[in-house]
A and B are shown apart, each in its own frame.
Chain A
Amino acid sequence: EPEVTQTPSHQVTQMGQEVILRCVPISNHLYFYWYRQILGQKVEFLVSFYNNEISEKSEIFDDQFSVERPDGSNFTLKIRSTKLEDSAMYFCASIPTGLDLNTEAFFGQGTRLTVV
């Protein structure tokens, strides 16, 4: 069964460092997302990406964050200068198309980011 894959599964970084979280969405999917979940809290929307550009972003997704689809398969989330409060689980998700609003979103297994 096709799946969304994320790497690394766990990343520890020092405050102020840049990190890049990687995702490979399911190959025929067109909409991509990043969500984050701080330990014990809800899953929060960060950004959606369609047709090689940001479709929507939340207030959390400030200038420290950026997304890219560099090669047609990978979908990356970059945090330029990490803060302690960026420590969270980051989930990538994808859906096949933007036309069917009842379609399921498929989530990767997540990257646990720990900022120290």
Chain B
Amino acid sequence: EAQVTQNPRYLITVTGKKLTVTCSQNMNHEYMSWYRQDPGLGLRQIYYSMNVEVTDKGDVPEGYKVSRKEKRNFPLILESPSPNQTSLYFCASSPRWPKQETQYFGPGTRLLVL
């Protein structure tokens, strides 16, 4: 089954403790992206990757890192999480940007930073 998976789905952590949220897709997609969703703010793009080893900042990259060492995986790294990073995070992938294609979204990761 074609899908985007995220792990963990729920996470409670404390300020400053490094964490990684994994994202994996099994569709051989070139394009992958991370978003955060906050009430009243909609979705905001954090980082995106057009292909392996190519990443770019979205609208809210501060406090986050990403890497794209292989096509299927696009982990989101919070080196020193802070409470303002408490949010719902979505990973998405697309065959390529964006000619006649669309994005497939993962199920989301709900993060609480205390």
A binds B: no
Q: Name B residues whose Cβ lies closer than 8 Å to a Cβ of A.
A: none
